[in-house]
Amino acid sequence: MREFPENNNMYINTDKISKQLREKAIKINSQSILITNFNGSNQEKDITEHPNCKGFGRVRHFKLNAGEDWVPNPLPILPAAKAFGLNAVSEIRAQVFQSSVCNWRCWYCFVDHSLLKGNLDHASFLTCDEMLDLYLSQDNPPLVLDLTGGQPDLTPEWVLWMMQAILKRGLEKKIYLWSDDNLSNDYLRIHLTEEQISFMAAYKMYSRVCCFKGIDEQSFSLNTNANPKLFDNQFMLCKRLLDFGFDLYCYLTLVSPSKTDFKTTIPNFLDKIQKIHELLPLRIVPLRVFKFTPLEGRMNKINNDLFEGQLKAINVWTTEIQKRFSSKLLNTPITEIIIN
């Protein structure tokens, strides 16, 4: 099997690739992480502001409005606003540092695939202190620090080390920390101690978002190139994060074949989610997929159909959510939906 297959007749060996990429992306002794440098990448073309932090960072503008034909996306806008005691806002700036590795190959990812394999031509090892130095050297640094990917949880120490570096500087009330997780591995439990996980879960200025990569086995595998059997694994991993006590939110990509029976598939997906927690669907945000520059070389007939499928799916999702929850709950801010 090739390291990353180009078609869905051969699946990524997720366990094998995860181990290989973790080894490339972390240095335990120096507590450093392999961080992407955006300069000269295709991803740079989509960044509204030039890369900052010597090319290792970028400022991302999270916006509530995802388009007239889509649901609003309050993440991480509302969690960050709540953490700082701010009034509701429709946009927030975040300082992004991006892991240089990911064990899946989602066709719709806005990151160059060349930036997801630990390529030292486009990445360097940085400690969290070095990242903080770069971040704080800016004029008016964003309030939100976003540790993204790639798959940050291939190196779950990253979030832990960043928390410790922030605390060491006495900045724990001035920086809101946000991180992503594609629900592909259990490295948080494997590589950290119970005490370290409890420390992270109790850290007041931190939330994490995990992303479900499809609504059934078929869409999941088409989207990620991973074995369809791993679709159900996502629910187990999500439940485990919730049981750890994290302030947890979820994304869901609805890109699916346009002929999908959405009126059956989406309720089935929600049934699985509600087995984790009855109110968890209200902490899930369908994430709209856009055609970023890195997608230009990946789009084919199948992917175009998947892209169109999301527009059918969002209508069914909205209708189904309205069936399951009262208007009071539907109008409750996502940060006030209690699931712990």
Q: What is the pLDDT of residue 73?
A: 96
Question: Please, which residues have CB within 8 angstroms of residue 266's CB and are 6 or more apart in sequence?
Answer: 215, 313, 316, 317, 320
- For the chain (length 340 residues), average pLDDT per consecutive 10? 49 97 98 94 70 96 91 97 91 97 93 91 97 96 96 98 98 98 97 98 98 97 96 98 98 96 98 98 95 75 87 97 98 96
In order, the DSSP letters of 87-115 are PP-SEEEEEEEEBSB-S---TT-SS-GGG
Q: Kindly list the structural domains of the chain, giving each domain's residue range(s) and its CATH number in brackets, ordered by start.
A: 14-253 (3.20.20)
Q: What does the alpha-carbon distance between residue 289 and residue 108 come to, in Å, rounded to a whole number?
A: 7
Residue from 10, 14, 16, 34 nearest 99 by CA: 34
pLDDT digits (tens, 9 = 90+) for 129-168: 999 999 999 999 999 999 999 999 999 999 999 999 999 9
Please, are residues 209 and 75 in contact by the beta-carbon 8 Å criterion? Answer: yes
Mode of pairing for the β-strands spanning 32-36 and 123-127: antiparallel
Residue from 214, 182, 208 nearest 286 by CA: 214
Record the pTM.
0.93
Q: What does the alpha-carbon distance between residue 145 and residue 171 come to, in Å, rounded to a whole number?
A: 12
One-letter identity of residue 163: M
Q: What does the alpha-carbon distance between residue 60 and residue 53 come to, in Å, rounded to a whole number?
A: 13
One-letter identity of residue 299: M
Q: What is the pLDDT of residue 88?
A: 74
Q: What is the pLDDT of residue 301?
A: 76
Q: What does the alpha-carbon distance between residue 27 and residue 269 come to, in Å, rounded to a whole number?
A: 38
Residue from 58, 60, 12 nearest 36 by CA: 58
Q: 189: which 2 tokens?
A: 């439990």
Task: Report residue 181: phi and psi, to 5°.
Answer: -155, 125
